[in-house]
Amino acid sequence: MLPGSGSAETRGAEGISALLDGVAAWAAQCPGVGAVALVGSYAGGRARPDSDVDLVVLAADPAVLLGDRGWLHRFGAPESVAVESWGAVTSLRVHYTDGLEVEWGLAAPLWAAVDPLDPGTARVVAAGLRPLYDPDGLLARLSAAVAVGGC
């Protein structure tokens, strides 16, 4: 389990930072993962103590991460996992036994395409996106495209 685990309410900024550092380290060693971004209220500076942590994981084959969910245990003990479909993104909404809720949005790198820029993706990015792992600059290009588009 990741150091600093616990609910968002109890772990505070330092604990959330440890979680995000752990996610970045996992992504760097996970074959097929091309980028990971923090999105939502934490990325946009609007998080409340009871906010969930929203992540987008861009993987060459998201079905691999959806099918073998053992990697979720690296971040705590899952109490429940719900699958949600959001178009190009399939989310695993994980409630960990320590109270933390993480929405792992899994998508192909095409989610970050800028030509054309998907309106749904642009809305997510405009609300806040913080790259955690972006070795090829996919998320940086996406953020720049959204900023230029004035979304």
Report the pLDDT value the prediction gives residue 44, as an integer from 0 to 100: 94
Percent of the chain whose pLDDT exceeds 70: 91
Domain span holding position 77:
8-149
Report the pLDDT value the prediction gives residue 6, as an integer from 0 to 100: 45
Residues paired with 60 in a beta bridge: none
Least confident of 39-43, 119-123, 145-149: 145-149
Tell me, what CATH number does 88's domain have? 3.30.460.10
* Residue 109 included in any domain: yes
Residues paired with 94 in a beta bridge: 81, 102
* Residue 1 included in any domain: no
Task: Tell me the whole-structure pTM to 2 decimals.
Answer: 0.90
Report the pLDDT value the prediction gives residue 13, as an integer from 0 to 100: 73
Q: Which residues contact 91 (CB under 8 A, 6 or more apart)?
A: 83, 84, 85, 103, 104, 105, 106
* Residue 19 included in any domain: yes
* Residue 73 included in any domain: yes
* Residue 3 included in any domain: no
151: confidence class by pLDDT, cuts 50, 70, 90: very low
* Residue 2 included in any domain: no
Q: How many domains does the chain have?
A: 1
Residue 140, both tokens: 């940086």
